Amino acid sequence: MWLSPKRSEKAKKAKIKKIWKWLKITVFFAVCFTLFGVWYLNHLTRSIEQRFELSQKWKIPSKVYSDAEYLYPGVGLLHKGLQLKLNRLGYRDTGDKITGPGDYAFGKGYIDIYLHDFDYPDDKFTGFSIRLTLDGETVSKINNITNEEELSTVRLEPELIAPVFSDEMEDRTLVTMKEVPQHLIEAVVLIEDERYFKHKGVDPTGIARAAVKDLFAMRIVQGGSTLTQQLVKNYFLHSRKTFTRKINEALLAMILERRHTKAEILEAYLNEIYLGQRGRSSVMGVGEASKLYFAKNVDQLTLGECALLAGMIRSPSEYSPFKHKEKASVRRDFVLDKMYSEDLITARELADAKAEAINPPERTTQPVKAPYFIDFVKQQIVDLYPADVLESEGLKIFTTIDMTAQLDAESAVDNGLKKLETTYASILPKDHEGPLEAALVVIQPQTGYIRALVGGRDFYSSQFNHVTLAKRQPGSTFKPFVYLTAFDPKRSKTPFAPSTYVEDKAFTVEAAGKDWTPSNYDKKEHGRVTLRKALEQSYNIATAKLAIEAGLDNVVKTARDIGIKSDLMAVPSLSLGSFEVTPLELASAYTVFPNGGVKAEAISIITIVDKDGKVLDKRSIEMKRVSDAGPVYLTTDVMKGVVDHGTAASARRLGFKGIAAGKTGTTSDYRDAWFVGFAPQLLALSWVGYDDNARINMSGARAALPIWASFMRDYVGNDQEDFARPGDVILVNIDPETGQLATKNCPETSFEPFVEGSEPNEPCALHPATGLLKKIFGN
């Protein structure tokens, strides 16, 4: 069939038109694709640069530290629990000799420690090895092992109490390439990406080689991902294996290699790589992993440790020196052999590194210690450093806490509550909704440093901090403020002394339009008693009477002066602790007793520094005299009697033998049990009760005192240092029956303390002295 030339021309034109149309479509799509490609590459580049160029590539958790601890000749070590402390600090027991930072060894009559480096605020400490020569359990001498210099003090670095994590829970210590040992860099490159310095982000040769190996093995034995791809995967992408992710990974790796040097990428990789778990948090990067597995900084790693760390990247859990020492050793030796075969190490180095013992430090499984204290610290700085700053800026917060005291306090609360619940199950209310709660706070009176804080029974069940937030009636623990007022001639309407008599006899007084009649704990009246006895036995009637006689306004003023900030009213029930206070407020007020009338403000934070060590905030000790030393001493002296033979005498039966003073407290209907007690150098307050204010049916002596005594027994021991008597307090020999000066005829006499000038001047009227002439001739 022939087509007319006209028709064939038409068909030709149509064909050309069709081709042209397709060409246009193709060009259009090609242009679109190219444009999209360019846009997408640009987008990827921008997104990479936005994150990678940031000065802060990672969220670095802020870290809260305890106070540093000092060792010096004469310090007892058993009491200090040195070995436990070294374990908590991540030191490792290396048997009989130390070889590097973070090692310790207990020998016969000595302890060797290779101290860690530590960045203190304004002071970079470089670790060195020391020998503590022992005389029994006491340090007799400290020497620098290297130069044998004798040292007067050695500071053990602060303990990490808790990191403040973001949701990612990643723990990381940033390192620079300068800090990372050459052996570690070589081992990582060799074992993870041999051709790292040859490829441009993606390594087709490596992929092909891996594919062949996998094919022969019929399973995946080698991955083809380069270090750059691994970094990109961890840093920018999700971990799901999808085709798009793989494409993106390759593209991003190539972009990264075009824009950054190999050294920059490697540094990021060494900081980013996952290297195991510490409890719930992930350990990221070689810096943090060195601390976890080898108790040292990355620049202090040995060749064997470098090889092991590099080998662990593939599977941190499988080669963990904590769990699988054998596997870890095989993996390390494999890396070392490979390094040797590549001429990176000598035969001697290989043999030495293989001979290194794999000896990780004791594992710390509880990442957050002292949770209530940490929470309290965060609350105080929330305005300056909100949660997102703490979670990402890598601040270091140095606090006043003493971890040995904190652990003793936590154990005292835990054991104390369990014991109460088993021993007094029949007294406690049945099927009470919430658990029995307790709190314990420990303060160093001279500095106001909070040394331990247990805010409740279990932080993970209830975050309510009973030490700092609970407002409870203090009951009889308020009484010492009444006595302090009465013993102070400058405060009291009429001056009193511990030997002064008062009537413990029921009375009624009108307060706020109502009659108020105080009664005693034992529902009895005790008649004429000394103020010493009234406080030792915690008599309510006598104390209420004393408060009225000393002046209720004056009592309020005393309480205010020594730091009670909560609402107080000058009503008679004030004397028996009817106005609510927080345990911290009460403990802090009590510090004036062991501190001779000087009040040091309670503090918990000492210094905050940023990740580069720059000091951002510093709190210093603040104190001032709030009471004369004399009346403070008289009150303390009487409170010693509370512990020795008063309402808290059971402390002695509970095993606490050191010198101490204190006061029990029980609120009406047994809703709160308190004990506040102190030795010259330490004060502790314990409280037991229910959150809903239900009755616990136990007194302060029964419920709170055992917790206090257990803590003091463990932490303070049997210290016999007494409270210093101020210069204006004299002891005068009196007749205890009359309170007047003792004569030869008084059947019983005792020396009682008085602020000089307020002592009695009249001889005992009941047993007057009879002179020789009177004896012979009579009156």
Partner 1 sequence: MRVTSCHRSSKENIWKLILPLASCLLLLSACAGVSNKSAPKRFISKPKIERVEETGAKKEVIRPEPKPLMIASTPKARASVKVVEEGRREMAAGNFEVAEKQFQEAINIDPNNGIAYYYLARSEFELEKYEQASGILDKAEDLLAGSKEWLEAVATLRDMIKEKSQRPNHNDE
**Smallest distance from the beta carbon of 681 to partner 1, in angstroms?**
6
**The token pair that represents 430 in the structure block:** 């049945």
With binding defined as CB under 8 A, does residue 769 bind partner 1? yes
**Smallest distance from the beta carbon of 742 to partner 1, in angstroms?**
7
Beta strands in 50-148 (DSSP E): 62-65, 69-71, 92-93, 103-107, 110-114, 118-120, 123-125, 129-135, 138-144
Cα 246 from Cα 347, distance rounded (Å): 41
The footprint of partner 1 on residues 440-479 (CB under 8 A) is: 444-447, 449
The DSSP result for 294-346, as a single string, is HSS-GGG--HHHHHHHHHHTS-TTTT-TTT-HHHHHHHHHHHHHHHHHTTSS-
Q: How many residues bind partner 1 (CB under 8 A)?
A: 49
Question: H or E segment at 514?
Answer: strand 514-516
Site string for partner 1, 87-126 (x = CB under 8 A): ----------------------------------xxx---
β-pairing, 103-107 vs 92-93, is: parallel
**The token pair that represents 440 in the structure block:** 């314990």
Cα 557 from Cα 555, distance rounded (Å): 5
Question: Residue 564 — φ and ψ, nearest 5°?
Answer: -80, 115
192 noted as active-site residue: yes
The footprint of partner 1 on residues 321-380 (CB under 8 A) is: none
Which letter, b or e, does each residue of 639-657 get, where b requires 16 or more Cβ atoms within 10 Å of its Cβ? bbbbbeebbbeebeeeebe
**Smallest distance from the beta carbon of 178 to partner 1, in angstroms?**
27
**The token pair that represents 611 in the structure block:** 């990740």
The footprint of partner 1 on residues 151-190 (CB under 8 A) is: 152-153
With binding defined as CB under 8 A, does residue 731 bind partner 1? yes
Residue of 571, 623, 659, 694 that binds partner 1 (CB under 8 A)? 623
Residues 388, 56 contacting (CB under 8 angstroms): no
Q: What is the DSSP letter of 476?
A: G
476 noted as active-site residue: yes
**The token pair that represents 232 in the structure block:** 């990109």
Residue of 181, 206, 726, 736 that binds partner 1 (CB under 8 A)? 726
Site string for partner 1, 624-663 (x = CB under 8 A): xx---x----------------------------------
Residue of 61, 63, 67, 532 that binds partner 1 (CB under 8 A)? 67
The DSSP result for 665-727, as a single string, is EE-GGG-EEEEEEEETTEEEEEEEE-TT-------HHHHTHHHHHHHHHHHT-S--PPPPPPT
Site string for partner 1, 686-725 (x = CB under 8 A): --------------------------------------xx
Residue of 486, 634, 729, 755 that binds partner 1 (CB under 8 A)? 729
The radius of gyration of the chain's CA atoms, rounded to the nearest angstrom, is: 37
**The token pair that represents 164 in the structure block:** 């403040």
With binding defined as CB under 8 A, does residue 73 bind partner 1? yes
With binding defined as CB under 8 A, does residue 733 bind partner 1? yes
Q: Which stretch binds partner 1 (CB under 8 A): 73-81, 163-171, 275-283, 369-377?
A: 73-81
Residue of 149, 458, 622, 669 that binds partner 1 (CB under 8 A)? 622
**Smallest distance from the beta carbon of 415 to partner 1, in angstroms?**
29
Looking from the CA of 570 toward its CB, the CA atoms found within 13 Å total 12
The footprint of partner 1 on residues 569-598 (CB under 8 A) is: 595-596, 598
When the beta carbons of 68 and 511 are compared against partner 1, the nearer one is 68
The active-site residue out of 66, 476, 588, 627 is 476
Return the active site residues.
192, 476
Residues that bind partner 1 (CB under 8 A): 67-68, 70, 72-75, 121-123, 152-153, 444-447, 449, 595-596, 598, 600, 618, 620-625, 629, 681, 724-727, 729-733, 741-743, 750-751, 759, 761-763, 769
